[in-house]
Every structure is written in C-alpha cells, then in structure tokens.
Amino acid sequence: MGSHNLTKAVRLSDPVDTTAPYDVSGLAGKTILITGGALGIGAAFARQWASNGANIAVGDINDEAGQNLVAELRRDHPKGTHHYFHCDVGSWDSQVAFFKDTAAASPHGGIDIVVANAGISRPVDNSHFENPVACADDPDAPARPSTTTIDINITAAMHTAHLAMFWLPRNGGANKLNAARNATWQTVDERRDRCLLLLGSVAGLVPFVEQTQYTISKHAITGLFRCLRGSAWKHGIRVNMVCPYFISGSNMFPAAAEAVLLSGGAGGAQFPDVIDAATRLVADETVVGRALVIGPSVQDGEGPAALEGKSDTKAIWECYAEDYTDAEMFVWRWVHIVNAVEKARGWYGVAADVLRILFRWK
C-alpha cells in the first residue's frame, strides 16, 4: 500500500474474487434501466435480471425487437414490471424521456440500476478515418470523417451517466455510501442501493489496431469509470464496469468478419461469462468501483497469471484495481477536500433539521 492510499476515502471495495459465490436475491424488486437493450448482450442482461426478480426497462431504436423482448419477459417473469420505451441514445431529449418514463413506470417510483449498454462499432468509420480520400469538388481537402461512433459511444454514454447521477439518488431511502447526504431521521434500514454499470471493452484497455474510433471511444468509457468511481459515492452510487473482449455470436461484426477475428486463438468472450460478470457487479452491493475484463476461457498459464508462472483457467479478471491504492498527490489532496466538504454538509444537514424542528415548535 502506498502512502497516498485513497481506497477508503472513495469507498472503493476490496478486489473482486471472481471465483466466490454471490447473492442475486437483492435484485428482486429493483428497477433496472438498460440502454440499447433490445438485442445482443443488453437483451441477455434483461433476461437474466428479470429471472432474478428485477423490473426491467429497455430503451432502444429497434422497436420490434424491444417490444418482443418485453413481451417475452412479461410472459416468463410475470411478477416483475417490464417495459420497452423507444430511445435514441444519440438524442438528449430521447434519453431524458426514457429516464422519466422508467421512473414513472417503476413500482417504487425510482430507478435503482442504470446500465449504459448502448454502443456501436462501424468499421467503415475506422477505415475512412485512417484512409482519407479527397473531396470530389476539392482535390486538396479530404471529406469530413464521420463521428457517429464517437457520438454514440462517448457523448451518448456520457449523457446516460449524467442522467443516472440525477435519477439514481431519487430512488428513495438513504444514501448507503455517504451518510452526510442523509436526513437525521433516516436509518440504516432505509438505505437503498444505487448502481451505474458502464459497458467498456478490452478496446478501452489496449489498442485495437485499425479500429481507431472504436478504441478511442472505449478508452473514453474507461476514463469515465476511473473518474466517477472516485466521486459518485457522494450520491450513494456504486460505479462499476465490464470490459468484454469480442463476444462470440453477439452480431457485433458480420459472421465472416467474426470468424477471421477470432480464429487461430482462444476465441471470443462467451455470453454466460459476460452475464456472470455484470450480474456480480450489479447484484453484489458490496462491490464498489470495480472493473472486470471478460475474455475467452484460458488455461495452462495462457492468462494474466502466466506472467507469474501460475496456471489460469478463468475467463474473468479485474483491471484498474490500483488507481487509488497509491494516488498522485493532486488526486489525493482533492479527494480529501471532497471528503471534508461532505462531512461539513452532514453537519449542515443536522443543523438544518434542528432549525426546522424548532420552527415547527413555534
């Protein structure tokens, strides 16, 4: 441990033991909002968490797939409250409406978990960016590159996170991570979990050559995670992230492209492993500020532990576990200032409550 350890100051939990069992019963009755959840891994999350008793709200632009998914959830898990709302994450107003509609439809009037799942991969954007072509009307200027990947994977994801920071603290009950934000009448029994799960990627950890825009966008999500996990505790929000490798059968790439990308190696990440990692991060309320990488299952020393001469048979590992164990001096000072402000806010809240009581007595 370094002398500038901030793990306790930012409420960071202990490293995740991915082999340990975890309890999913806490998902029952919670309302989970998933962007881009009509197909692929988002739909897989919805099915799993609905089976665990959660209420699911799916937002997507694929109305047919979204409506079919929710019809399936209502049929298979009738005790939950499941809804589909049209949501174009590229539109701020559309996302605002999605969050409002989800809260209005929630049995308890709030949102407990937000999953920023929506994202795209457009190989054509990457190709055009790295291979500029002159404009037809100006041979000395390239055509403006498309920023659709950036717009959806960065800007839209930031909007989702921003809305989560607004809506999650409104889910009722007390702040589990920061008592300074609670009123004096709120008790431990009234504390309610709040979680933001970001969908990162291995491309947010290492460069994917010739996938420049996609790699940029996922590095941005990693940066968003690393910052928010150090401050979201103020609002009682656990911020976690999953970073899958290419997921086999996810339709992220055409079948032919997937075969080329994943052949000759250990293959891609598997849906069950990604679902397991994400479920652990949203269901286990003790996991705060942690990120899990999901890749192909490897063994005989092929994984990260091979560097230490150990055998590794896991498909899930933790990443960015050391950010706050020995922080840079500026970060260390800033976090302590934030803690001091929150402590002062707590005393201010107590004083305000006392004054309100005295005022009512008059």
Distances (CA, A) of 279 to 23, 210, 264: 10, 32, 30
Q: Where are the alpha helices (DSSP H) in the chain?
A: 40-51, 63-76, 92-105, 123-130, 148-150, 157-167, 212-228, 255-262, 271-283, 329-361
Top CATH class of 25-361 equals: alpha beta
Per-residue model confidence as pLDDT tens digits over 25-48 = 999 999 999 999 999 999 999 999
Which residue type sits at 36?
G
Q: Which helix (H) or strand (E) holds 162?
A: helix 157-167
Q: What is the pTM of this model?
A: 0.83
> By the 8 A CB rule, do 190 and 173 touch?
yes
> By the 8 A CB rule, do 173 and 228 touch?
no
The answer to which of 112-126, 226-240, 316-330 has the lowest mean pLDDT is 316-330
Averaged confidence pLDDT in the chain: 82
- What pLDDT, on the 0 to 100 scale, is given for residue 96? 99
51 has a pLDDT exceeding 90: yes
67 has a pLDDT exceeding 90: yes
Calculate mean pLDDT across residues 7-31.
90
Q: Which of 288, 118, 82 is nearest to 198 (CA)?
A: 118
Calculate mean pLDDT across residues 9-33.
92
The fraction of the chain above a pLDDT of 90, given in percent, is: 54
How many helices (DSSP H) and strands (DSSP E) are in the chain? Answer: 10, 12
- What pLDDT, on the 0 to 100 scale, is given for residue 320? 72
Q: Tell me the C-alpha distance between 297 and 233, whole Å.
A: 33
13 has a pLDDT exceeding 80: yes
The structural domains of the chain, with segments of one domain joined by +, span: 25-361
Q: How confident is the model at residue 300 (pLDDT cuts 50, 70, 90)?
A: very low
